[in-house]
């Protein structure tokens, strides 16, 4: 195993410390228990938004803490949910009196631990709502979930819900927007290579040189099928077909096309894939109103990609375009 690390047990602590130093204008980091908070939180009268989960998916979630997106993020160990204590601490840190929204990816540990933290927060007088993301169409159940996994659509939920909270929407209104984005998002991914979890020291699964895994999860969970390596256009088709079958588009319905890298995929390949996806959507009469390309929710150094489509309405476009200033997403401010 070759990694730029010191002690495998200290990877998250040392990485978060570096993140805090690099982005001191945006965030502050509390270490006991560990959580990342927007520098100016709590903001009186504003709904706070907290997300989190296992580390190894950077820039998710800490990279999205800041103006117009998350108020706090809670990093767990690599591919391991944070416990309720830091989630509760983050919730308390961002409570400005108007309640707190938890955005939770649909993995069993994450859901249970965020639920427990929400109950503890309620006992202290904080109103908490939760939205569970489940945009992955690859499999209904996996090693980590009951139901569909929450994957790249989570980034879109965090951005759009964050903009709604920033403009002053109520907790119920922010939660409703987040639910609507989740309902309109569908994702599917593939892996060319596995990744190596630092404390494990070996690949999370094995693939032959000419094999790829279709429908992979962000922790290396198995997907729908293992196939021989194919040209990029066919791989994109394999991802788009089940997405469009699952949530059909009428001609003229607008979409946000999000081509995401899994950590080890160069942009030259992601844009090549975007080109094919745009062709397929054009053939079906689906206009691309907004787009995002890059490594935004990753799986350590895995080579691979995911494609997400979000069915857009006017309000979602307005909220997507609203200013955001975080370590990983920033525009308009």
Question: Which H or E run includes 190?
Answer: strand 185-191
Bridge-based pairing state of the strands 27-31 and 255-261: unpaired
* Spatial contact of 5 and 60, defined as CB atoms under 8 Å apart: no
Among residues 57, 61, 102, 199, which one is catalytic? 57
Does 219 qualify as catalytic in the annotation? yes
Rounded distance between C-alpha atoms, residue 86 and residue 290, angstroms: 35
Question: Rounded to an integer, what distance in angstroms lies between the CA atom of residue 43 and that of residue 217?
Answer: 35
- The whole-angstrom separation of Cα 179 and Cα 158 is 11
Q: How does 184-220 read in b/e, with b if 16+ C-beta sit within 10 Å?
A: bbbbbbbbbbbbbbbeeeeebeebeeeebbbbbbbbb
Measure the CA–CA gap between 53 and 46, rounded to whole angstroms: 23
CB atoms within 10 A of CB 24: 11
The residues pairing with 132 across neighbouring beta strands, listed in sequence order, are: 104
Under a CB-based contact definition with an 8 Å cutoff, are residues 200 and 219 in contact?
Answer: no
Work out the burial of residue 268: count CB atoms within 10 Å of its CB; fewer than 13 is exposed, 13-18 middle, 19 or more buried: exposed
Pick the catalytic residue: 23, 35, 102, 219? 219
Q: What DSSP designation does 132 have?
A: E
Phi-psi region of 172 (alpha: psi -120 to 50; beta: other; left: phi over 0): alpha
Is 23 among the residues known to form the active site?
Answer: no
Tokens encoding 257: 């096309």
91 with 52: CB under 8 angstroms?
no
Catalytic residues: 57, 219
């Amino acid at each position: 195993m070759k990694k730029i690390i010191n002690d495998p047990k200290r990877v998250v602590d040392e990485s978060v410390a570096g993140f805090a130093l690099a982005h001191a204008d945006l965030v502050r980091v509390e270490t006991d228990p560990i959580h990342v908070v927007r520098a100016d939180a709590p903001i009186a009268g504003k709904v706070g938004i907290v997300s989190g989960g296992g580390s190894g998916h950077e820039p998710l979630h800490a990279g999205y803490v800041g103006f117009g997106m998350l108020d706090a993020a809670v990093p767990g160990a690599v591919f391991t949910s944070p416990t309720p204590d830091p989630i509760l601490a983050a919730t308390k840190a961002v409570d400005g009196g108007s309640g707190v929204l938890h955005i939770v990816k649909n993995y069993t540990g994450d859901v249970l631990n965020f639920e427990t933290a929400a109950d503890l927060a309620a006992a202290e007088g904080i109103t908490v709502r939760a939205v569970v993301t489940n945009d992955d169409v690859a499999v209904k159940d996996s090693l980590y979930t009951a139901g569909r996994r929450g994957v790249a659509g989570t980034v879109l939920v965090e951005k759009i819900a964050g903009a709604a909270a920033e403009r002053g929407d109520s907790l119920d209104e922010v939660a409703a927007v987040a639910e609507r984005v989740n309902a309109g998002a569908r994702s599917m991914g593939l892996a060319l290579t596995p990744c190596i979890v630092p404390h494990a020291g070996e690949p999370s699964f094995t693939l032959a040189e000419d094999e790829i895994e279709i429908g992979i999860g962000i922790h290396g969970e198995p997907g729908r099928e293992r196939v021989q390596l194919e040209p990029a256009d066919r791989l994109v088709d394999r991802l788009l077909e089940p997405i469009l079958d699952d949530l059909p588009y009428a001609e003229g319905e607008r979409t946000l096309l999000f081509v995401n890298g899994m950590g080890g995929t160069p942009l030259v390949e992601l844009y090549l894939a975007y080109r094919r996806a745009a062709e397929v959507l054009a053939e079906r009469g689906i206009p691309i109103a907004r787009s995002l390309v890059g490594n935004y929710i990753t799986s350590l150094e895995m080579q691979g990609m995911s494609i997400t489509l979000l069915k857009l309405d006017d309000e979602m476009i307005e909220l997507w375009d609203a200013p955001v200033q975080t370590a990983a997403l920033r525009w308009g401010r």
